[in-house]
Amino acid sequence: MRFLLPLLTVVLCVPPHCLAASNVGEVELTREGKASIQMALQYLAARQRADGSFSGNMGQTTGIVAAGVLAWMVAGNLPGEGPYGKHVAKGVDYLLNSAQPSGLLFKGREDGHVMYHHGLATMCLAEAWGQTRDKRIHDKLKNAIELIVRTQNEKGGWRYQPRVMDDDLSVTVIALLALRAAKDAGIAVPKETIDRAVAYVESCRSEKDNQGLSGFAYQPHGGKKWSTTAAGVMSLMLCGNYKAKDVKDGLEYLVKAREHKEDKEWFVYGHYYAAQAMYQAGAQGEKFHQYWLKWYPGISQDIIKSQKGSGQEHGGFKLDEGYGVWSTGMCVLILGIPYRYLPIYQR
């Protein structure tokens, strides 16, 4: 049974391609957008193995499995419920079976990014627990959160291995999202841990450029990048930090980065965060909501154009240097924001 129903959607006139709109500024997917997502979900289903993992490069790694499962869930499927309910159930089982005694959710080929996989897997289980209250999930999710809490370093950040070491914004943001998703689902998370993580994100804020705009760097005192700016702005808003000037600076920089084609680097990773940043900004009133209304049609069109229309990869996305399941799952998470099913992606 669902504990969190999707918000009702209404329709309004915004230009293009993948959106319909309403006079209160909410949007929903058009027929083309829905068709693209359905093709992608079928692509993922065709590649899922009996144990819940996926075929292909890195398909047995927990972060990749979590991306695929979240893609089905963002379209309204839950374990045993919906057209892809059995696929979600198998994927969740795979994540649960990957849990180590330490709490680490990792299985598959070691690629040097263990905590990124752990963060995505933890967030996936938090979304599943929050919407199903499946008792099998609770203890392993709790252990996964406790591992994140105890591996935070003194600056409030995390790095790619499950131990206290140095830090970067990329891993810190995915850890912070996992913590927030679990907290929202009712798992105890120390406030101090989230506060320190937010402070770390803030420490990665860059100096203002010649246009007076600041962004976020990969590590403190570094230069801003469009992808880490997207991650930083989105994570702060999800944690309730809506300082108007800070948010506006970040959103403006993202718009300019896209205009200058800087968003080609780490396209899937960056746009996964950027689209959510634009959407979350809409909670701050009509002025900020315009960012979302202008951003989403363009990025949706770019993603849909990149979808494979025929052959063995029919329905999949292969952007960046990413893997088919990874990039396809993440593209669905971007395209599917207007569904507003997953709690972590709601305003």
Q: How far is CA 130 from CA 3, 5, 182, 327, in A?
A: 7, 12, 8, 25
Helix residue spans in 154-312 (DSSP H) = 169-184, 191-203, 226-238, 244-259, 267-281, 286-305
Please give the pLDDT value at position 323. 66
Task: List, for the chain, all residue ranges whose pLDDT scores fall below the cut of 70.
Answer: 1-27, 244, 321-323
Please give the pLDDT value at position 57. 81
Please give the pLDDT value at position 13. 28
- Cα 81 to Cα 283: distance, rounded to the nearest angstrom: 30
For tokens 């790619």, the residue is: 160
Please give the pLDDT value at position 244. 64
Tell me how long the chain is.
347
Please give the pLDDT value at position 23. 35
Q: Which helix (H) or strand (E) holds 29?
A: strand 27-29
- Cα 25 to Cα 23: distance, rounded to the nearest angstrom: 5
Per-residue pLDDT tens digits for 295-345: 999 999 999 999 988 888 899 998 876 669 999 999 999 999 999 888 887
| Token duo for residue 93 | 């089982």
**Furthest CA-CA distance within the chain:** 54
CA of residue 60 relative to chain centroid, distance: 19
Cβ atoms of 127 and 185 within 8 Å: the answer is yes
Nearest to 204 by CA among 253, 237, 155: 155
- Cα 281 to Cα 289: distance, rounded to the nearest angstrom: 6
Please give the pLDDT value at position 10. 24
Query: Please, is 245 exposed, middle or buried when counting C-beta atoms within 10 Å of its C-beta (0-12, 13-18, 19+)?
Result: exposed
> Tell me, what amino acid is at 61?
T
Please give the pLDDT value at position 88. 98
For tokens 């701050």, the residue is: 284
The pTM for the full model equals 0.90
* DSSP line for 30-80: -HHHHHHHHHHHHHHHHHB-TTS-BSSTTTTSHHHHHHHHHHHHHTT-BTT
Q: Which residues touch 155 (CB under 8 Å, ≥6 apart)? A: 167, 196, 200, 203, 220
